[in-house]
Amino acid sequence: MWSFSFLLFWGCCGIYTWGMLTLPTLGSMTRHEQPRWSSSSLDGNGCTDTTMCPAYATCTNTSRSYYCSCKRGFLSSNGLKTFKGPGVECKDIDECSQSPTPCGPNSICRNLPGRYRCSCMTGFSSPTGNNWISGKQGHFTCRDVDECANPRSCPEHSTCHNSPGSYSCVCNPGFQSRSGRKSFQGLKEMCEDVDECANPRSCPEHSTCHNSLGSYSCACNPGYNSRSGKKTFQGPGETCQDVDECANPRSCPDHSTCHNSLGNYSCVCNPGFQSRSGRKSFQGPGEMCQDVDECANPRSCPEHSTCHNSVGSYSCACNSGYISRSGKKSFQGPGETCQDIDECSQKPPPCGPNSRCRNLPGRYECSCLTGFSSPTGNNWISGKPGHFTCTDINECLSHGVCPEHSECTNSLGSYRCSCKVGFTSGNSTCEDVDECANPRSCPEHSTCHNSLGSYSCVCNPGFQSRSGKKSFQGPGEMCQNVDECANPRSCPEHSTCHNSLGSYSCVCNPGFQSRSGKKNFQGPGETCEDVDECSRNSTLCGPSSVCTNIPGKYSCSCLPGFFSPGVWSPEKPEAFKCADIDECLQDPSRCGPDSVCTNTLGSYSCGCVVGFHPNPEGSWKHGNFSCQRIPFKCKDDVIPSNMQVQLCHAGAAVEPKYVSFCALMNATLSVLDNVCENKTTVVSLKSTAKRLDSVIEKTSKWSNFTKEETSTLATVLLESVESTTLAAFLKPSANVSQTIQTKHLDIESKVIDKECTKENETFKLKAKGDEMKIWCSTIKESESTGINGVAFVSFSGMESILDERFLKDLQIPWASSKKKLKINSRVVGGIITGGKKDGFSKPVIYTLENIKPKQDFESAICVSWKPDVEGGRWTPSGCVLLEASKTHTVCGCNRMVNLAVIMASGEVTMEFTLYLISHVGTIISLVCLAMAIITFLLCRTLRNQNTYIHLHLCICLFLAKMLFLTGVDKTDNQMGCALIAGFLHYLFLACFFWMLVEAVMLFLMVRNLKVVNYFSSRNIKMLYLCAFGYGLPGLVVAVSAGLQPQGYGMYNRCWLNTETGFIWSFLGPVCTIIVVNSILLTWTLCILRQKLSSVNAEVSTLKDTRLLTFKAFAQIFILGCSWVLGIFQIGPMANIMAYLFTIINSLQGAFIFLIHCVLSRQVREEYRRCTTRKTKPSSETQTSGILLSSVPSTSKTG
């Protein structure tokens, strides 16, 4: 085929190396082996031939025949349990594909030939041990390992939750992990107290938050009370309401007005009053409003008036002897006047009877008539002290007129004396009478007290007189028992009064106790204080409850998040029990769609499923929690459908050859843990870049991976960088631009806030000498709903991993161009926060720095990474080349891509005509070679040493072309590809060595024409020729593989490595053989021309000389010189030489069949005899007709 010819051309050329693109397989040829039947299969002992039954089958003899049956774990291809004959295979039964899997749940099943292996997933264990193989003793089951049984699995202040195959630690309410993760594993994490007071929404407005270990409390500020009346509380559900201090009459002093305000109040003195301190407004009863004395101002009242100050006011009254002009007795203000009154003209006269009156300004003068006197004296003027009256002179007023304890009675002009009650007269004196000497003087339950001239009865304590008098006289009164309990003040508040005869006692009510501790007491001096049952017994109401003390009793209620099926009552307190409310069971869920609700003791928390993150504007504590789709890929989104990658991610046991791959894959995937898990911590782009830098740095491990593994790991790495950068943009603290530089990774990110004011404005971002330019219109076109941001990433070292072997031309898959390709830039990537990533109206401009200066004969190709093409490939679609200089290449892309530049040189384009010629010619050659092999094997008359050499040459060439056609592009398996390259190396070398053997034998045969009696000449045995033709190529391959085993197998072809010079292990022997063959054949021609006619005249007569000469030249051209045409496939003659090279090499087998068979008279006669079924005459003379076959000697000696 054409690709085979081109491969050998580059092998012969040696100077030019080709990066061959993968060609799709156009067809495949299958080869069925014909069964060989022996007599042993018919005599009842067919099992002696081990080939009678296929692999993995058991042969059983019968009396006349035999039968085959597949071994355990295998199934025949025809579905029968027993069978015989060819065409049936025993195929392995994949027990692991059965449902349910034979290993059971939580296990990993791996199919083996005829059996299977079971191992438990991480977090599970089996009593039979891991890696259990079917057929062993025991039954394999995977049981969950309860990590929570170990108290050290989780740190202090956390709760361990076991789950199938794993476990998680969750910090208790009021605590959070140091890393911010809600669930974690191991003791490396710690649960730290959450300062709820740092969140201004923890407590309502007008309150103060007090943090405590694992909890917090809120207290309303002075001037506010909680709506529930609690002094301390939690949560924003409570509110602090303003206290109306003015509702309390004691808030302000007397004679003031209270004005309430939000959280405060003020007192203002009423008109006519002022504060003692002189302030207009004040607080508290400590201040007083004092009366303003308006009378201190002499102008407050008119002349001849008196000012009377009153509380809060004043009044003016005309002085005695004057009257107001308006007639008012009291008035205010100086507008009124006081006029003199003529008192003496009034009736009756003001001086009274028996007097004389004289009017004066504002007053009058009184004097008594004769015989009367006034206590104020004569000539008394109004206004003076006293009241003027004229009275009879009372002689009883004189001392000693009557004896002691007597009374003087005055009369007009006289008086008389008499003893007072309780005294009796005798001898001009008055003596006392003792009434208490008479027991009947006072009633029962009373005490008699004698006094001078009298006595009194007083009821004993606990009794009172019927009339209510404290002291009395006479037996007519009675002392009745006093019911002290009728007086509510006899006992203090919260007590009960018990009356008794002449006394009483007080007892505090249940729930109260006396201040002194006495059970019975008297008097209001004692008080009954409330007993706080809640403080005495903290477990009075049970767990998860709140005990509220009430004067004289208490009540129980459940904490928020708890409920009691029974209502609390003091009569049946045992019916009250608080249980947790599982808010997560409510429908619809409190957390909303795409969320994870986690019930906690007395509360619940909301999280989001993987791939979603909480809406920053909502909170589950406020009832408006919601989850939003993360606008970038998470770990589950970038894990490909590759079984080995999934096993790496699951942490299951992997084969040793996948250990390095899984280590790098898991290290890359772990970067996305901090991105997609709903954490409160900010994603650190710098730390993430350092972690990914360590993955890129291990290029030595990347080189050992298969092509599929490399593209898969690279895709995950590129997606991880993009997701981490986008996650950093979305965090609240990421509203700043960043520039991060590491050894293998540079990132420049820019937040676009208000810079985009013009459509034509552009932004430039640089990283490691590369640059990206993006338009403002493109940023707006990306439809970002949050922060507008762009980032540019440059990878150093990725170009050696994702090199030119990953190039895929999606436009012309059947006619890929053949070039010498080399990636010549760093891998870069553009990132934007918007949801739209492609189809931009203006292209994104990438300027990439060339690793090596661009040569004039090289052309640059802008390629972008497509992860959805064969696991990850470079493709030129979506990007165009704008400019290419020696140092930089400028590409324009209509989407955000991961980009690189590939240089192509020495272009030779394969047309469809060459493609068709190559494949058709190769198929014709294979058919002709097969016919030649059959001819040499079946035609006995042709058998000689030369035909055996031709047979081996044709077999090697047939196998080489067949293997190249079917296996040269099988690059997926590195070891298999190396083996194919080794066999191709061996088979092609064997072809050339058999060509050398044929040339040597031809030369020896022609030289022996000069020898007398040619048949007596010594011939070389075929065994030695086979040892040379097959042994020397094997020796070359063995030495080459020992010196450089990695030289077998390239990234795009299973052939020898052309970049390291290993191709010379093939080119060296081939060039040597071509040179030797050319010399030998030239020498042979010289001998033929000089000696052939003299050796045998009959041969000259039959013109065999010209035939032998033609065949010799044809052999040189077909078997060797055709490869030299590949050297001239450069310059203007490249296309012509490509056609000649393709035609000659693809039809090489046809030319060999034409020369060795069709142009051979003996072969033609054999064909004719076979078709006509005639026997060959025995007298026919055999002459040389097949490539200088052995010529019988007809000459005679002498």
- Token duo for residue 1028: 């040379």
Q: What is the pLDDT of residue 1129?
A: 56
Cβ count within 10 A of residue 605? 18
Stretch 142-165: mean pLDDT: 89
Tell me: pLDDT of 750 over 90.
Answer: no
**Conformational region of residue 327, where left means phi above 0, alpha means psi within -120 to 50, and beta covers everything else:** left
Stretch 491-520: mean pLDDT: 87
**Confidence label for 679 from pLDDT (cuts 50, 70 and 90):** low
Q: Cβ distance 1126 to 9 under 8 Å? A: yes
β-pairing verdict for 215-220 and 207-212: antiparallel
- Token duo for residue 1126: 């590949």
**Conformational region of residue 143, where left means phi above 0, alpha means psi within -120 to 50, and beta covers everything else:** beta
**Per-residue pLDDT reduced to its tens digit, 337-381:** 888 888 888 888 888 888 888 888 888 889 888 767 888 878 888
Report the share of the chain in percent with pLDDT over 90.
10
Q: What is the pLDDT of residue 996?
A: 85
Q: What is the pLDDT of residue 69?
A: 92
| Residue 718 to residue 712: CA distance in whole angstroms | 10
**Confidence label for 605 from pLDDT (cuts 50, 70 and 90):** confident
Q: Cβ distance 1153 to 1160 under 8 Å? A: no
**Confidence label for 735 from pLDDT (cuts 50, 70 and 90):** low
Q: What is the pLDDT of residue 730?
A: 67
Q: What is the pLDDT of residue 1110?
A: 57
For each of the domains in the chain, give its residue range(s) and CATH number, in order of start: 2-25+929-1172 (1.20.1070.10), 49-93 (2.10.25.10), 97-145 (2.10.25.10), 397-433 (2.10.25), 635-908 (2.60.220.50)
**Per-residue pLDDT reduced to its tens digit, 170-224:** 999 889 998 888 898 888 899 998 888 988 888 998 899 999 888 899 999 988 9
Which of 332-341, 756-765, 1023-1032 is most confident?
A: 1023-1032
Stretch 734-748: mean pLDDT: 81
Lowest-confidence segment of 299-303, 501-505, 700-704 by average pLDDT:
700-704
Q: What is the pLDDT of residue 170?
A: 94
Residues sharing a CB contact under 8 Å with residue 761, sequence separation 6 or more, in sequence order: 755, 775, 776
**Per-residue pLDDT reduced to its tens digit, 61-72:** 888 788 899 988
The residue among 589, 634, 632 whose CA lies nearest residue 610 is 634
Q: What is the pLDDT of residue 372?
A: 78
Q: What angle do CA 598, 603, 608 make, to 5 degrees?
A: 30
**Confidence label for 20 from pLDDT (cuts 50, 70 and 90):** very low
Q: Cβ distance 890 to 884 under 8 Å? A: yes
Q: Cβ distance 765 to 775 under 8 Å? A: no
Q: What is the pLDDT of residue 982?
A: 93
- Token duo for residue 43: 């005599």
- Token duo for residue 530: 């409330």
CA 630 to chain centre: 9
Q: What is the pLDDT of residue 1121?
A: 57
For helices 974-1007 and 1064-1095, give the axis angle rounded to 10 degrees: 20
**Confidence label for 251 from pLDDT (cuts 50, 70 and 90):** confident
What rounded mean pLDDT belongs to the chain?
78
Torsion of CA 568, 570, 572, 574, to 10 degrees: 70
The residue among 1016, 1014, 1019, 1003 whose CA lies nearest residue 944 is 1019
**What 3-state DSSP class applies to 365?**
strand
Q: What is the pLDDT of residue 1184?
A: 36
Lowest-confidence segment of 115-124, 534-543, 897-906 by average pLDDT:
897-906
Residues sharing a CB contact under 8 Å with residue 844, sequence separation 6 or more, in sequence order: 772, 773, 774, 778, 830, 892, 893, 894, 895, 896
Which of 27-36, 79-88, 159-168, 700-709 is most confident?
A: 159-168
| Residue 919 to residue 26: CA distance in whole angstroms | 9
**Confidence label for 916 from pLDDT (cuts 50, 70 and 90):** confident
pTM for the whole structure: 0.39
Q: What angle do CA 446, 451, 457 make, to 5 degrees?
A: 15
* 733 vs 5 pLDDT, higher one: 733
* 664 vs 456 pLDDT, higher one: 456
Stretch 1148-1159: mean pLDDT: 81
- Token duo for residue 415: 């008086």
Backbone phi and psi for residue 863, each to the nearest 5 degrees, phi listed first: -125, 145
Q: What is the pLDDT of residue 1123?
A: 55
**Per-residue pLDDT reduced to its tens digit, 391-402:** 877 778 878 788
Lowest-confidence segment of 217-231, 531-545, 686-700 by average pLDDT:
686-700
The residue among 222, 238, 206 whose CA lies nearest residue 230 is 238
